[in-house]
Amino acid sequence: MQHAELDNVALSECLLRGRCDSDGLLLVNISNKLTHPKHQELASPSQPRAETKFTMSTQDMKENTPTSAKGNGDTIDLDLLASLDEEAFGARVPAILSSASQAIFKSHQRKPPGIETIRSRATEAPIVAAVSDIIKSPIKDQDEFYLAWTALNEIVVDLPLEELQLYRPALKAVAETPVSNTTASHYQGATNLCSEAASLIRFMDDPTAVWVPQTKSDHIAERTLQERVKTAEEMRPHVPGLLNWLADANWPPFRGCRTQLARFPEVTVGPIGKLIEKERGDGGWIVSLLEFVDECVPLNMWEELKPTIKTLVEEAKGDEDEWEVSDLARRWLEKLEKKRVS
């Protein structure tokens, strides 16, 4: 079903980022059941409001170094892959990626065997051809979606710019393929792949292109910010959009947006103060903003926020009591006061 497919996309993105909670467990909570209209505005309207949650020990998710992987009935000796010539290795690529896609989506494995080997040989013509064929093949069932997603996201999206050019024809084909050609149950997944391919082409064609994530599945945006924004002033216009994604820690862009904001904390303080004043009553968002300041902004920059934070202690609004906003704000102010008297 379309909804289940989209949850799997978001789930795999969280797995690949390896987010862990404070108990040392990998925690993925894909939740669109939001209580504030502004959250729903950020979420894609086509996405369901459903919740999927699971925990997995970080020990289970540690990078493994297996020496073999199974694909299409064959056992692939990873120790021998690097020694294969280009044609022989290229012939193995579909089986390796098929096995990897099942490991990612069905076993929630973070480092499927064979992926690094393919990526290290991603400029070889037979590998380019094999990966490109997978990416641009029509999606007719769930496994084909898993395979296309894995080829694109595990092999292509993080390649250096010059190597990305080798995959331009395939990306162009995907970006221009009418999603109506896809079966109805995989429409949303195909739409996401088309959008991702179009974003990569934009990234290649326009060396000045920088943008904040527009949807939950837009993680090319983070790459543009990381590689092309070099100063605080260059980051400044993107801060409001990045702060919007801190409204819910379960959204896939949350972690990347937080990382980008932390690069230049000096341009985040003013916008954070204004956002807290504007979004009073949204306890979860305010807690996220306060935690960001506490963990990522130097203490000597906090003073500007003091008047705004004091109002959080004086009167609770909306669901702020449920999130214990006033207690967090009080501790925040105490920490600032200790800094002032020291």
Question: Mind listing the domains of the chain with CATH numbers?
Answer: 2-61 (no CATH), 68-205 (1.25.40), 220-341 (1.25.40.750)
User: What's the CA gap between 166 and 182, in Å, rounded?
Assistant: 25
User: What's the CA gap between 262 and 333, in Å, rounded?
Assistant: 21
User: What's the CA gap between 141 and 129, in Å, rounded?
Assistant: 22
DSSP 108: -
- List the structure tokens of 53: 């949650």
68-71 and 51-57 strand pairing: unpaired
Average pLDDT value over all residues in the chain:
83
pLDDT value for 26: 34
pLDDT at 176 over 80: yes
The H or E element that residue 302 is part of is: none
**Is residue 301 within 8 Å of 266, Cβ to Cβ?**
yes
pLDDT value for 180: 65
**Is residue 29 within 8 Å of 51, Cβ to Cβ?**
yes
DSSP 43: S
User: What's the CA gap between 3 and 102, in Å, rounded?
Assistant: 19
pLDDT tens by residue, 158-175:
999 999 999 999 999 999
pLDDT tens by residue, 15-40:
444 433 333 333 333 333 344 444 54
Q: What is the pTM of this model?
A: 0.78
pLDDT value for 342: 78
Q: Determine phi and psi for 102, rounding to 5 degrees.
A: -70, -40
Angle between helix 283-296 and helix 269-278 axes, rounded to 10 deg:
160
pLDDT tens by residue, 115-153:
999 999 999 999 999 999 999 999 989 999 999 999 999
The mean pLDDT of 104-118, rounded to a whole number, is 93
Q: Determine phi and psi for 172, rounding to 5 degrees.
A: -65, -40
The mean pLDDT of 72-101, rounded to a whole number, is 84
Helix, strand or coil for residue 57? strand
Cα distances (angstroms) measured from residue 142 to each of 90, 139, 282: 24, 8, 37
Contacts of 295 (CB under 8 A, 6+ apart): none
User: What's the CA gap between 14 and 184, in Å, rounded?
Assistant: 25
Collect contacts of 52-57 with beta carbons under 8 A, ≥24 apart.
52/7, 52/11, 52/28, 53/27, 53/28, 53/29, 54/28, 54/108, 55/25, 55/26, 55/27, 56/25, 56/26, 56/108, 57/24, 57/25, 57/26
pLDDT tier for residue 183 given thresholds of 50, 70 and 90: low
Give alpha helix (H) positions in 63-178: 78-81, 86-106, 115-120, 125-136, 142-150, 161-164, 168-176
In the chain, the amino acid numbered 188 is Q
Residue that has been written with the tokens 């080997």 in this structure: 117
